[in-house]
């Protein structure tokens, strides 16, 4: 495949540091050089995230988890962009651009980042999401202009649906088990992962992953020669 002179997008989504990089690098490469992504069907995800985020707007941080510094959730669903990412002391063409879920302003002037999840997946561990949260922290601490904000804490706020509530159609729903999963700062690991992603993007088109159901479907379908 011919590589264009310039990528179609130079802003890296924080979520690409988790799911996309850990599955197949080929679709990731196509996404940035050609701005073509596979359609994703995730019914209810947007609605559940919005409801969960709304629930925590203006919340006191220690009521979310006693380990958190005193402060309040003051911002939500805002885009953050970084200056060019530096690898080995050199500017690259790539920047971070993404929308965090919740951000606190702490009494000591630092900030706390929280990523909301409605999920029962065992994968909701701090280690898996660390590079994604670090990417938001990188953008907050390395903005293209203006004052940087020190991120003192990062974590996942997980709602796991466990039971039903209510006794009539107007007043019923799901009950949840809530847990806060602290994600320790790990800038070294973030720099390792983002370096790997940038070297994938700057390289030639990677091979497809043999385990991907989408690519296997497309290969089988194309072999039918229907069109």
Q: Locate 225 and state its tokens.
A: 């020669």
Query: Is residue 208 near ligand SF4 by the rule CB under 6 A?
Result: yes
Q: CA 120: distance to chain centroid?
A: 17
Near ligand SF4 by CB under 6 A: residue from 84, 143, 161, 209: 209
By CB under 6 A, tell whether 200 contacts ligand SF4.
no
3-state SS class at 226: coil
Under the binding rule (CB under 6 A), the answer on residue 15 touching ligand SF4 is no
27 binds ligand SF4 (CB under 6 A): yes
CB of residue 57 vs ligand SF4: minimum separation in angstroms?
36
Check binding of 83 to ligand SF4 (CB under 6 A): no
Q: Please, are residues 142 and 82 in contact by the beta-carbon 8 Å criterion?
A: yes
Q: Least separation, in Å, of the C-beta of 44 and ligand SF4?
A: 23
Are 140 and 134 contacting, i.e. CB atoms less than 8 angstroms apart? no
**From 54-62, 118-126, 155-163, 204-212, span contacting ligand SF4 (CB under 6 A):** 204-212
Q: Measured between alpha carbons, how far is 158 from 124 in angstroms, rounded to an integer? A: 8
Question: By CB under 6 A, is residue 26 in contact with ligand SF4?
Answer: yes
Contact between 81 and 73 (Cβ < 8 Å): no
- Residue 98 CA to residue 84 CA, distance in Å, equals 14
Cβ distance to ligand SF4 smaller for residue 38 or 165 = 38
Contact call for residues 8 and 123 (beta carbons, < 8 A): no
Q: Does 212 bind ligand SF4 (CB under 6 A)?
A: yes
Exactly one of 47, 162, 214, 222 binds ligand SF4 (CB under 6 A); that residue is 214
Closest CA to 76 of 54, 92, 93: 54
- Site residues (vs ligand SF4, CB under 6 A): 23-24, 26-27, 208-209, 212, 214-215
């Amino acid at each position: 495949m011919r590589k264009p002179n310039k990528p179609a997008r130079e802003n890296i989504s924080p979520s690409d540091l988790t799911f996309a990089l850990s599955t197949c690098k080929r679709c990731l490469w196509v996404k940035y050089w050609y701005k073509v992504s596979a359609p994703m069907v995730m019914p209810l995800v947007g609605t559940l995230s919005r409801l969960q985020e709304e629930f925590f707007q203006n919340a006191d941080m220690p009521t979310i988890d006693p380990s958190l510094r005193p402060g309040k959730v003051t911002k939500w669903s805002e885009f953050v962009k970084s200056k060019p990412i530096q690898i080995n002391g050199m500017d690259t063409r790539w920047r971070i651009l993404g929308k965090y879920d919740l951000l606190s302003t702490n009494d000591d002037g630092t900030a706390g980042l929280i990523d909301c999840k409605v999920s029962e997946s065992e994968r909701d561990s701090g280690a898996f999401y660390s590079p994604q949260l670090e990417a938001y922290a990188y953008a907050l601490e390395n903005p293209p202009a203006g004052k940087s904000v020190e991120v003192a804490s990062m974590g996942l706020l997980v709602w796991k649906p466990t039971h039903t509530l209510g006794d009539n159609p107007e007043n019923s729903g799901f009950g949840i088990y809530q847990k806060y999963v602290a994600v320790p700062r790990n800038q070294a690991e973030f720099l390792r992962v983002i370096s790997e992603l940038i070297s994938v993007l700057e390289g030639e088109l990677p091979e497809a992953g043999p385990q991907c159901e989408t690519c296997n479907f497309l290969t089988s379908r194309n072999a039918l020669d229907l069109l």
